[in-house]
Amino acid sequence: MNYQDTLDYLFNSVPMFQQVGGSAYKAGLDTTRLLDEHLGHPHRKYRTLHVAGTNGKGSCSHTLAATLQAAGYKTGLYTSPHLVDFRERIRVNGKPVPQEYVTRFVEEERAFFEPLHPSFFELTTAMAFQYFADEAVDVAVIEVGLGGRLDCTNIIRPDLCIITNISLDHTQFLGHTLAAIAHEKAGIIKPGIPVVIGETTPETRPVFLAKAQEEGAPIRFAEEYDYDGRYGEPDFELKGLYQKKNQRTLLAALPWLEDAGYGIDARAVHEGFAHVVELTGLAGRWQKLQEKPTVICDTGHNVGGISYVAEQLAKTPCRQLHIVMGMVNDKDIDGVLALMPRQADYYFTKASVKRALDETALARKARLAGLHGDCYPDVPAAVRAAKEKASPEDLIFVGGSSFIVADLLANRDALNLH
């Protein structure tokens, strides 16, 4: 198999949540443990850090990795979903896993894993853990896929856990209350391992406290942490309003890494925060793609994430706002639409995944929320229409789903966005 054959095999032979949603979700760690044992427990060969949460865990994971790289550590980074290329999920010092490695891993291990019928994420996690061992990384930052307690990344014993926040998302799997979702996310808290909580609510705070007490894990709430300024005030390259909370969470976490023996100084923190995109390849977080008109994309895709996007759109000056928007069918669509600005021209579209909500269905729901615009069959068509209509002083925002942003970035050259 070549690389494309391997991707076709992965995407079509094992269920992929990114494409099909709930039918790909597989709770429990049995298959993960079998894969891990078969590979010789590769995650035990390097240090790990574990990051969970509803929103912000990707940005926190990338910034943590960037800071570790700046401090001189060979750093693995495992995140999901990918936007353009599968290899984005697995990086060492910012460089994606080689195509040849992906192909070789699947060819060499398929005789073992095919009878297990692993999910896409189970198999990808095993591949990442093995790649980091083969590359002899010093430390790997591991982002939780979904939830925490039953997520297949939860076999690691990290030096530190971070839970960014809790909001209502993936409720069909994690529960329909903030407390229930917090219980699932808190499942990454382990005996004696420090945990930093980025944000809490009256419903979630007692859940985290109880789990930390049960596990004898030191717990720190970033909202209450009295930052002593030991790293100064780093200039954060990520300019989304929500990144201020991610920055506070990380500044509460870094001293505990020092306590665990990591050599992290103010220089490394400033370099990591200021150059996270260059160091790790992070994309899609309030990312400016063009000026005159300004084109910005963001992967916020649920009520918690969109609330910050809407706030930032309201604070961004422009003559006219154009919004290219699509969503997937398992989100709180009405809740998101209720947050979106009324005074904007909308371009409703759909991403190239099976979970995508049809653009006409989205437009119908949007009209009920007081949002108006036209429908387009795909993201490139919607963006072209917005660019044709916009004046140089306008703002075009593209978002509503990670997959909308993925389609935008995949067609960036064709859309002449530079």
Print pLDDT tens along the chain (418 aa): 899 999 999 888 775 544 444 444 556 799 999 999 999 999 999 999 999 998 899 999 999 999 999 999 999 999 998 999 999 999 999 999 999 999 999 999 999 999 998 989 999 999 999 999 999 999 999 999 988 899 999 999 999 999 999 876 555 657 679 999 999 999 999 999 999 999 999 999 999 999 999 999 999 999 999 999 999 999 999 988 889 999 999 999 999 999 999 999 999 999 999 999 999 999 999 999 999 999 999 998 889 889 999 999 999 999 999 999 999 988 889 999 999 999 999 999 999 988 899 999 999 999 999 999 999 999 999 999 999 999 999 999 999 999 999 999 999 999 999 7
**What integer pLDDT is reported at residue 25 of this predicted model?**
54
CB within 8 A of 291, min separation 6: which ones?
A: none
**What integer pLDDT is reported at residue 172 of this predicted model?**
60
**What integer pLDDT is reported at residue 170 of this predicted model?**
54
**What integer pLDDT is reported at residue 17 of this predicted model?**
45
* Tokens encoding 277: 């995109």
- CA angle at 284 for the pair 102 and 182, rounded to the nearest 5°: 85
**What integer pLDDT is reported at residue 248 of this predicted model?**
96
**8 A C-beta contact, residue 404 and residue 379:** yes
**What integer pLDDT is reported at residue 141 of this predicted model?**
98
Residue 279, SS3 per DSSP: helix
**8 A C-beta contact, residue 76 and residue 397:** no
**What integer pLDDT is reported at residue 26 of this predicted model?**
58
Give the whole-angstrom CA distance, residue 86 versus residue 63: 20
Residue 29, SS3 per DSSP: coil
- CA angle at 16 for the pair 407 and 13, rounded to the nearest 5°: 115
**What integer pLDDT is reported at residue 15 of this predicted model?**
58
Domains in the chain with CATH codes: 3-280 (3.40.1190.10), 287-410 (3.90.190.20)
Give the whole-angstrom CA distance, residue 319 versus residue 143: 39
The half-sphere exposure of 190 on its side-chain side, counting CA atoms within 13 A, is 16
